[in-house]
């Protein structure tokens, strides 16, 4: 993902894989459920906009080739186990590059050598602790998130380093990356000595007296995200809710009695919260996701439906901002809607301009650019180096 | 010779962003945390705020030190704004706007996270500012972007995380979705916002031209969900909640340990890892990955029985020694004493003038040559007015007194 972001910004990002391709090319699911190295959906998502080459770093010739390539790159991104670059004798060739290293726990420290996947680093970051229902096991997001966070912070680190006067190492820890995603929980511990835990569909941190507020509600055929809130943030939403309920024939006594100008959710007891929420629940259950979305947008209320993977593709806001970028992910495959660049720069959205590379697709071009002759490349191919 | 004098003087290394000035007007997390990261690496970040329209992190969101609601005792603000300066300006006063414009004129970057159209109404829109200062970089970060039919729809991060599809992917398949705790998507937008600013700074080095950046927190968040969207588009399937199941690894789960609310996470990605787990625990199961995926529920039950009688950290140590990926599910308080995070200096200690000793958060990436520095917590309201209006804008004490009397610094 780190390389993907730099590529989105226009950098010429060359992905280096072992001959035959990296293992992540076989991560499911696959386009059309056809399992091959050019159809892994997560891999394709992370590698559009890049060129791809192969190089066997296990061989002396491969390492020599890498050293030649590295001198042409101001930024090198790697995710080997800590110490592997040194063991391969590649550190010298990276002296003049910003080297971004992305590992589960970082380059040094007591856990540096410990392997970990998304699940373990998420567990060690506190993020798992906060996700799930009381009394049941913590859960992780079904679409693994730590590679995205680590990659994003790697790109951020690379760009900070680019502003410094001399090249340096950027050491990203996935555990640390995932420990940044869940404030206010660390603040509650640090300032108030309160340990927050899993609360399922409820929000903590909105009360000075320990009450919790429902944030996820059933609606007709799905779920919506909504919460009772006062103050400058919530009072308009509260008023509109009461009006909306009245339009649909509901006259909730407790909700209707609220003076929204003075309403302070942070002082409500749990019994008061429960009473208000009991009045709202049947109303929300009577609405579909679409009815709720249209209703909150029309009334400028806080709240959204709980979207799934199909919803953004139908969202008029994203369409109006020309967010989607159509790209055929491989030769002979139909075009798919890729999320477009993450921001507009002077009104322009970075493009999804190049499909992810096949294994070694750009060997001739990239090695040619650093002066590897055709004969030399043929010899390296025959030797299995590329 | 005193003991103290024997400590060698280490010359302070300038941060990577030394010399970059950032003016920031924003609230809550999505705008201000961009400025925090820039400040941590040496940028001078001046937060312009007002007592009349204070940041919700100063007024509305607990916790407050000792439960006393006061803008200078707000934990969220102090945590998110370390390393910055605070200057107060009343933007409802024309002279307040003039001073804001003058201050932004001295800056390299202007970050704002108001509702779209707000800064333009004040005469501080990117077009107006850059007409005079074409080299200025303006980052506007908001919920849905500056344009489009939902641009003016208010929203906050925890609900936007639901809209984007994160919440739908979190929870047990047999139950309701659960929250990702806080405003998850805001922090994604923070990372991309800082990236966008730094990319624009790099381009400006070559072209001399600034940039107007329109960041939609929604669009930034969807980057992290690209595979689920592609899976729906290509295969017609909508990914849903899966508990802790993985498409490849099995077993892959979170299992109870001895004691109350103690859990271990472990995953098996290869046959050798599986054999190591079998040898260690004595449990039985299919020899192939496909077989283990099919037998997931049963395997989870027997592993849970094996872990339930053991201490969490002892199980983790056993598993790691055997070559199986494992980690404790750390609670939030444990993060502050986790040896690895402590080794990385994740939670630097600072002294806040109103809150007292507290911690702030280091960036999750470490730079070897120009490391982040975190010496000051979030500023109290208007703590740097003298510096900003006196030293930077050159207003005399008398001028400042007069303006203050007019309510310009409220």
The string of pLDDT tens digits covering residues A304-330 is 999 999 999 999 999 999 999 999 999
Q: Which among B389, B383, B387, B384 is positioned nearest to B404, based on CA atoms?
A: B389
Q: d(Cα A73, Cα A250) in Å, to the nearest integer?
A: 65
CA separation (Å) from A156 to A44, A107, A172, A271, B93?
22, 18, 10, 45, 37
- pLDDT of B41-70, one tens digit each? 999 999 999 999 999 899 988 899 999 999
CB contact under 8 A, B225 and A136: no
Q: How many CB atoms lie within 10 A of CB A43?
A: 20
Specify whether the CB–CB gap between A292 and A302 falls below 8 A. Answer: no
Q: Which of A190, A229, A299 is best to mutate for the B interface (most B CBs within 10 A)?
A: A190
Report which of B101, B16, B14, B90 is spatially closest to residue B49, judged by C-alpha positions.
Answer: B90
**A6, A193, A198, A304: which to substitute to probe chain B, counting the most B Cβ within 10 Å?**
A304
Nearest residue in chain B measured CA to CA from A44:
B227
Subunit contact B182:A9, Cβ cutoff 8 A: no
> For residue B182, what pLDDT band results from cuts at 50, 70 and 90?
confident
Residue A205 banded pLDDT, cuts 50, 70, 90: low
Q: Say whether residue B397 is in contact with chain A using an 8 A CB cutoff.
A: no
Instruction: Tell me: pLDDT of A64 over 60.
Output: yes
Give CA A248 to chain center in angstroms: 39
pLDDT for A187 beyond 70: yes
Question: Over 80: is that where the pLDDT of A206 sits?
Answer: no
For the residues B123-139, what does the mean pLDDT come to?
Answer: 98
pLDDT of residue B184: 95
Question: For an interface test with B, which of A31, A119, A234 has the most B Cβ atoms less than 10 Å from its Cβ?
Answer: A119
What pLDDT does B6 receive? 37
Is B328's Cβ below 8 Å from some Cβ in A?
A: yes
Interval A39-54 mean pLDDT: 98
Kindly provide the residue ranges of all beta strands, DSSP E only, lying in chain A, ordered along the sequence: 14-17, 51-54, 75-78, 98-103, 169-173, 202-203, 213-214, 216-219, 222-225, 304-305, 324-327, 336-339, 344-345
Task: Reduce the secondary structure of chain A to three states and give it as a string.
Answer: CHHHHHHHCCCCCEEEECCCCCHHHHCCCEHHHCCCCCCEHHHHHHHCCCEEEECCCCCHHHHHHHHHHHCCCCEEEECCCCCHHHHCCCCHHHCCCEEEEEECCCCCCCCCCCCCCHHHHHHCCCCCCCCCCCCCCCCCCCCCCHHHHHHHHHHHHHHHHHCCCCCCEEEEEHHHHHCCCCCCHHHHHHHHCCCCCCCCCEECCCCCCCCCEECEEEEECEEEECCCCCHHHHHHHHHHHHHHHHHCCCCCHHHHCCCCCCCCHHHCCHHHHHHHHHHHHHHHHCCEHHHHHHHHHHHCCCCEECCCCCCHHHCHHHHHCCCEEEECCCCCCCCEEEECCCCEECCECCCCCCCCCCCCCCHHHHHHHCCCCHHHHHHHHHCCCC
Confidence band for A204, pLDDT divided at 50, 70 and 90: confident
Least confident of A195-204, A343-352, B268-277: A195-204
User: Which residues in chain A touch residue B369, judged by CB atoms under 8 angstroms apart?
Assistant: 161, 164, 166-169
Confidence of residue B8 (pLDDT cuts 50, 70, 90): very low
| Chain A residue numbers touching B241 (CB-CB < 8 A) | 139, 142
Which chain A residues are closer than 8 Å to B214 by Cβ?
343-344, 347
Over residues B118-145, the mean pLDDT reads 97
Task: Read off the tokens for B261.
Answer: 């609310």
Give the pLDDT of residue B60.
84
User: Please, how many CA atoms are within 13 Å of residue B31, restricted to the half-sphere of its CB?
Assistant: 31
B316: three-class secondary structure by DSSP: helix
Is residue A358 packed enough to be buried (19+ CB in 10 Å), middle (13-18) or exposed (0-12)?
A: middle
**Tokens at B37, concatenated:** 């990261």
Interchain contact B289–A (C-beta under 8 A) = no
For B77, name the nearest residue in chain A, comparing CA atoms only.
A187
Instruction: Pull the structure tokens for residue A101.
Output: 């290293």
User: Which H helix or E strand runs over B384?
Assistant: none
Minimal CA–CA distance to B59: which of B46, B77, B47? B77
Question: What is the structure's pLDDT at A183?
Answer: 85
Question: Residue A357 has which token pair?
Answer: 């590379």
**Residues in B touching A108 (Cβ below 8 Å):** 343
What does the pLDDT read at residue B10?
40
| Beta-carbon separation of B229 and A115 below 8 A | no
Instruction: Give the pLDDT confidence of B28-45 residue by residue, as tens digits.
Output: 888 889 999 999 999 999
pLDDT bin (cut points 50, 70, 90) of residue B240 is very high
Structure tokens at B90: 């009343």
The predicted complex's ipTM stands at 0.96
Q: Is the pLDDT of residue B5 over 50?
A: no
Cα angle at A345 between B21 and A156, to 5 degrees? Answer: 60
Is pLDDT of A174 > 90? yes
Cβ–Cβ below 8 Å for B63 and A44: no
């Amino acid at each position: 993902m780190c390389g993907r972001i730099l590529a989105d910004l226009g950098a010429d990002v060359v992905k280096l894989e072992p001959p035959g391709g990296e293992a992540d090319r076989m991560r499911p699911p696959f386009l059309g459920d056809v399992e091959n190295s050019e159809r892994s959906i997560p891999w394709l998502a992370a590698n559009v906009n890049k060129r791809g080459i192969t190089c066997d770093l296990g061989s002396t010739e491969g390492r020599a080739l890498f050293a030649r390539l590295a001198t042409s790159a101001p930024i090198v991104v790697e995710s080997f186990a800590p110490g592997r670059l040194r063991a391969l004798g590649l550190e010298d060739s990276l002296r003049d590059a910003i080297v971004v290293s992305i590992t589960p726990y970082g380059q040094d420290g007591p856990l540096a050598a410990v392997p970990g996947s998304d699940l373990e680093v998420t567990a060690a970051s506190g993020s798992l602790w906060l996700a799930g229902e009381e009394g049941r096991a913590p859960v992780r997001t079904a679409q693994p998130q730590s590679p995205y966070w680590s990659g994003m912070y790697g790109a951020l680190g690379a760009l900070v380093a680019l502003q410094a006067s001399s090249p340096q190492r950027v050491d990203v820890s996935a555990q640390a990356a995932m420990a940044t995603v869940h404030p206010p929980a660390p603040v509650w511990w640090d300032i108030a000595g309160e340990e927050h835990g899993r609360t399922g569909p409820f929000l903590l941190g909105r009360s000075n007296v320990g009450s919790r507020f429902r944030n996820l509600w059933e609606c007709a055929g799905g779920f919506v995200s909504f919460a009772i809130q006062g103050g400058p943030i919530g009072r308009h939403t509260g008023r509109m809710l009461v009006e909306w309920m009245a339009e649909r024939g509901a006259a909730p006594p407790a909700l209707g009695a609220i003076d929204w100008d003075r309403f302070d959710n942070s002082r409500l007891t749990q019994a008061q919260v429960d009473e208000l929420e009991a009045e709202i629940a049947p109303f929300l259950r009577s609405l579909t996701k679409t009815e709720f979305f249209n209703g909150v947008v029309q009334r400028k209320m806080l709240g959204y439906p709980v979207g799934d993977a199909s919803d953004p593709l139908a969202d008029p806001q994203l369409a109006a901002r020309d967010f989607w970028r159509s790209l055929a992910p491989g030769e002979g495959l139909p075009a798919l809607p890729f999320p477009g660049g993450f921001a507009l720069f002077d009104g322009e959205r970075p493009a999804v301009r190049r499909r992810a590379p096949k294994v070694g697709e750009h060997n001739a071009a990239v090695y040619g650019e650093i002066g590897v002759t055709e004969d030399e490349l043929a010899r390296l191919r025959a030797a299995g180096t590329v | 010779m005193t003991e103290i004098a024997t400590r060698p003087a280490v010359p302070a290394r300038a941060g990577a962003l030394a010399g970059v000035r950032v003016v920031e007007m924003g609230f809550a997390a999505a705008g201000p945390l961009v400025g925090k990261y820039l400040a941590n690496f040496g940028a001078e970040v001046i937060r312009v705020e007002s007592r009349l329209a204070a940041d919700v992190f100063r007024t509305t969101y607990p916790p407050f030190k000792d439960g006393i609601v006061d803008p200078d005792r707000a934990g969220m603000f102090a945590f998110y704004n370390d390393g910055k300066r605070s200057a107060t300006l009343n933007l409802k006063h024309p002279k307040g706007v003039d001073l804001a414009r003058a201050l932004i004129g001295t800056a390299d970057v202007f970050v704002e996270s108001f509702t779209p159209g707000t800064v333009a109404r004040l005469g501080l829109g990117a077009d107006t500012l850059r007409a005079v200062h074409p080299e200025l970089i303006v980052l506007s970060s908001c919920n849905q972007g500056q344009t489009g039919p939902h641009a003016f729809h208010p929203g906050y991060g925890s609900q936007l995380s639901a809209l984007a599809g994160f919440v739908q992917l979190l929870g047990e398949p047999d139950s309701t979705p659960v929250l990702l705790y806080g405003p998850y998507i805001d922090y994604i937008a923070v990372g991309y916002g800082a990236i966008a600013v730094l990319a624009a700074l790099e381009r400006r080095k070559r072209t001399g031209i600034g940039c107007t950046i329109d960041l939609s927190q929604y669009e930034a968040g969807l980057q992290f969900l690209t595979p689920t969207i592609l899976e729906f588009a290509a295969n017609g399937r909508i990914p849903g909640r899966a508990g802790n199941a993985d498409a490849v690894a099995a077993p892959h789960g979170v299992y109870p340990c001895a004691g109350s609310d103690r859990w271990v996470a472990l995953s098996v990605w290869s046959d050798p890892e599986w054999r190591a787990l079998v040898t260690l625990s004595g449990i039985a199961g299919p020899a192939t990955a496909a077989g283990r995926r099919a037998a997931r529920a049963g395997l989870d039950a027997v592993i849970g029985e094996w872990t339930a009688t053991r201490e969490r950290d002892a199980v983790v140590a056993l598993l790691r020694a055997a070559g199986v990926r494992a980690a404790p599910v750390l609670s939030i308080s444990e993060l502050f004493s986790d040896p690895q995070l402590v080794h990385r200096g994740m939670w630097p200690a600072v002294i806040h003038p109103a809150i007292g000793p507290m911690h702030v958060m280091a960036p999750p990436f470490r730079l070897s040559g120009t490391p982040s520095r975190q010496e000051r917590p979030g500023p109290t309201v208007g703590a740097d007015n003298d510096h900003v209006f006196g030293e930077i804008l050159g207003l005399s004490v008398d001028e400042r007194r007069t303006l203050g009397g007019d309510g310009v610094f409220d």
